[in-house]
Amino acid sequence: MFSFFFLFQYTVWNFVPKNLFEQFRRIANFYFLIIFLVQLMIDTPTSPVTSGLPLFFVITVTAIKQGYEDWLRHKADNEVNGAPVFVVRSGSLVQTRSKNIRVGDIVRVAKDETFPADLVLLSSDRPDGTCHITTASLDGETNLKTHYSVAETSVCQSVSQLEALQAVVECQQPEPDLYRYRCIFLLFVFVRPLGPENLLLRGARLKNTKEIFGVAVYTGMESKMALNYKCKSQKRSAVEKSMNTFLIIYLIILLSEAILSTILKYAWQAEIKWDEPFYNQKTEAERNSSPILKFISDFLAFLVLYNFIIPISLYVTVEMQKFLGSFFIGWDLDLYHEESDQKAQVNTSDLNEELGQVEYVFTDKTGTLTENEMQFRECSINGTKYREVNGKLLPEGMTDDSPDGSMPPLMGDELLFLKAVSLCHTVQISYDQSDCLYYASSPDEKALVEATKRIGVAFSCSNGDTMEIKTFGKLEKYKLLHVLEFDPNRRRMSVILQTPSGKVLFTKGAESAILPFATSGEIEKTRLHVDEFAMKGLRTLVVACRHFSPEEYIDVDKKLNSARTALQQREERLQEAFSYIEKDLQLLGATGVEDKLQDKVQETIEALRLAGIKVWVLTGDKHETAVSVSLSCGHFHRTMNILELLQQHSDNECAEQLRILLREDHVIQHGLVVDGASLSLALREHEKLFMEVCKNCSAVLCCRMAPLQKAKVVRLLKTSPEKPITLAIGDGANDVSMIQEAHVGIGIMGKEGRQAVRNSDYAIARFKFLAKLLLVHGHFYYIRIATLVQYFFYKNVCFITPQFLYQFFCLFSQQTLYDSVYLTLYNICFTSLPILVYSLFEQLVHPHVLQNKPGLYRDISKNSLLSFRTFLYWTVLGFCHAFVFFFGSYILMGEDTTLMGNGQVCMFGNWTFGTLVFTVMVITVTLKLALETHFWTWMNHFVTWGSISSKILILTNKMIYIDSNRFWGEQHQK
């Protein structure tokens, strides 16, 4: 059994030992285990039950909670691992489970199903042997991508043909890069090199294709999707780290009290009048025992006597508070997205309070800040700007005021530009409905093809070999000769078509990928228009073409075929061929497409900034577009000084630029823009210098960034000397590493992608929900758990200090002050429910106030409520109250210790005194919590007054029991 989405911690067989190991790593649990073992081995003043029972309760409750959460993850994994699939075996289709697929199995996948393993496409039901997939689960993109079957097997569309197939696939070793794949397909005398366009990745979904057959080449943890996920490490919050520190301090206090008591015992017993009192005569064995062993034994006895200063139920109460409190996030209607019917989701409740401590937010752009829905806005044709108005392409400055509502048909350069846009793409058409629908691997392509259709040049058909367009109603057919696929290095794609007049190449791509190779056209005007589009926040593409003579095309065709069939250095030879072909381009123009922002993104980022949280935007867009989007979404202010670290080519150049940026005036607000190449240099040699620059900036924008760089940036900031709390938010599988690396990971529920959600700690439907999640829920959770932790230490100091003081009055004889029932039930019964209810419902400030005044978030930053100062306050308060309990009861009872003064109940003096101290203490610590409570509910009243009442009721029953025993004892004597 393997798990793709959660490499969870336990299995059915090793749950108990692994869970116990994990729990006893906690200081408090390990400490009480030692105390329990000591009580079993030596004679101690308290029963082993007083430590063993609470420890068993804590371990059991925690194990149930963690087991339940892992069972939910296991259930989610089983939905994928146990999904039914069909494989070709023994001449027929056999149904099996996806986890049973092995390398070499031929798998059938139907429309809208996900691929259960990494498959090489053998055939599809389409005549051209292609299929269309969506990789939303991998990279967050919901648009269709076209993949191609092996040419020699594309005709094998029946089970019998596939069963008879004899072939060998030689693959490279598994690697995590989603976009890199190389293997050789051997079929009899055919040798076919394969690339990423032939590979169907696990987790992708088949679309617009009835069915396909593919051979499994990577399965299980060797699939690319699984390799992209590192093992999800256990995240621990700052509060839990503070708890461990406080526990160590209290452990030191405990050891000090035990050592002091042991020393004072021997010091006092050194006096002759206290040596071997009549009620404690030593045996012969005790007189002859080693003094060192006796000292150690007494020390351990005192250790057991004072051990309750360490709150054993602290962890289990914290676990219950986190688990139960996490439901409030899912129940919050303000975090519910009605359109998609999605509510907030909690995958890891251990980090609730960490939401109130975030200092840096790392966010993806596409699909996270934006809707990933493109709309065509403007274009530049031969140096003239155009915009679309009511389905018409109008030059700049012209309005749609023609009398008959029509415009003269486009001619010349304009028409060639529109034809290039409507033909240079990999868009597919679905005829499932009455009107054809476009599907594309890029949302830009889809938006552009839809725009040309509205204007009058409609892409109407593509069957693999032929592309058809209707130019103002006139049908035109083009033979598709070659597709030069897009890659991140060239940053462009091209198609070679056969037109009635000859062969032509249409290409489109980034400005830097096209303009340097253009030899004609209005290059400077186009460059200015591209920059202007980018400043408006539009995504830009430059369009060009090249006409081939018959001799040139023969040479081009030969180079392409030779590169694509190469067995060695295939990728390098393809790049050389593409570079040879995509030159001497005739510039046609450029396009500007808008990616719509999500609702209330600007307000959310502004609220985070006011809360003292720095936001970093990570995107693959070009510099101008990224800056414009940052300005439009409020990430950058118009008045902000924008610093740039761009196009650095060497370590020395990068270091010098960083030093210049570091000397900028720190009084005004700065925003930093850094591109992927410069970022790589900065992170490689100048991490500290780069971080100094970033810390002086209110906002940072990383553009042209590769997915693998995101997690590295998060790790760099996370491990800096200040160790700030980081949060990463994204919507695609390419954001998973970043989400897992950050202290808190949040997944955006996309239209189809769920990998970011599955691997996140929390999931929300829209970016705007992040504000309430942090400013309200994070604020509440942190205050509640901070008070819970401090209160637990306070009430245990109140509990055990009278026991320490009591030793001064009993010659350190290790006599216990409290009844064993009180020792056992104090933490798990008498004082546990009030603080648990407080930690679930307390609201120091109304939620609307927290949202309207984000600055309140700063008041709890840097773990301020768990600082040493506040910890010292609660500790000193506990000692002061303990002194009042003990000496107040001592003075109240006087020397008689009976309250009655008749001497008849003197035998109950110790029990009466201890019970009085315990009763006053329980009432006081309960009322102290009541004074700390600002938001009262019926549950607060019930548990507060119920705890006091239950204590009085138990005390009454105890007294009746003792009086009854005394009465029958007197009767027996008579």
Burial of 485 (0-12, 13-18, 19+ CB in 10 A): middle
Q: How distant, in Å, are the alpha carbons of 262, 263, 293, 808, 815 from that of 267?
A: 9, 6, 17, 12, 17
Residue of 298, 364, 444, 675 with catalytic role: 364
Q: Does 965 count as an annotated binding residue?
A: no
Nearest to 18 by CA among 57, 63, 55: 63
Contacts of residue 554, Cβ cutoff 8 Å, sequence gap at least 6 = none
HEC assignment per residue over 681-718: HHHHHCHHHHHHHHHCCCEEEEECCCHHHHHHHHHHHH
Largest CA distance in the chain: 130
Interstrand relation of 130-134 and 457-462 (parallel, antiparallel or unpaired): unpaired
- How many residues does this entry show for the chain? 974
Interstrand relation of 106-110 and 190-194 (parallel, antiparallel or unpaired): unpaired
CA distance 676 to 703: 6
Contacts of residue 433, Cβ cutoff 8 Å, sequence gap at least 6 = none
Q: Do residues 100 and 110 make contact, with C-beta atoms less than 8 angstroms apart?
A: no
Q: Does 539 count as an annotated binding residue?
A: yes
Q: Does 508 count as an annotated binding residue?
A: yes
Contacts of residue 304, Cβ cutoff 8 Å, sequence gap at least 6 = 35, 38, 39, 44, 45, 46, 51
CA distance 74 to 4: 10
Contacts of residue 176, Cβ cutoff 8 Å, sequence gap at least 6 = 224, 227, 228
Contacts of residue 188, Cβ cutoff 8 Å, sequence gap at least 6 = 166, 167
Q: Which two tokens stand for residue 454?
A: 């509205």
Helix (H), strand (E) at residue 869 = helix 868-893
Q: Does 445 count as an annotated binding residue?
A: yes
CA distance 35 to 305: 10
Q: Do residues 332 and 778 make contact, with C-beta atoms less than 8 angstroms apart?
A: no
Measured from the Cβ of residue 790, the count of other Cβ atoms closer than 10 Å reads 22
Q: Would you call 402 helix, strand, or coil by DSSP?
A: coil
Q: Does 621 count as an annotated binding residue?
A: yes
The 8-class DSSP code of residue 387 comes to: E
Q: Which two tokens stand for residue 320?
A: 């219950």
Token pair 């204590």 is found at: 951
Token pair 């926040």 is found at: 537
Nearest to 587 by CA among 382, 380, 379: 382
Q: Which amino acid is at 536?
A: K
- C-alpha Rg value of the chain to the nearest Å: 37
Q: Does 444 count as an annotated binding residue?
A: no
Nearest to 824 by CA among 58, 60, 50: 50
432 labelled catalytic: no
Burial of 12 (0-12, 13-18, 19+ CB in 10 A): exposed
Q: Does 804 count as an annotated binding residue?
A: no
Q: Does 365 count as an annotated binding residue?
A: yes
CA distance 654 to 682: 7
Instruction: Spell out the long-range contacts of 825-828 with Cβ–Cβ below 8 A and sequence spacing 24 or more.
Output: 826/308, 826/799, 826/918, 826/922, 827/54, 827/308, 827/311, 827/312, 827/313, 827/796, 828/54, 828/57, 828/313
Interstrand relation of 762-764 and 744-748 (parallel, antiparallel or unpaired): parallel
Measured from the Cβ of residue 505, the count of other Cβ atoms closer than 10 Å reads 25
Question: Which residues are part of the catalytic machinery?
Answer: 364
Annotated binding-site residues for ATP read 364-366, 445, 486, 508, 539, 619-621, 704, 710, 734-735
Annotated binding-site residues read 364-366, 445, 486, 508, 539, 619-621, 704, 710, 731, 734-735
Annotated binding-site residues for Mg(2+) read 364, 366, 731, 735
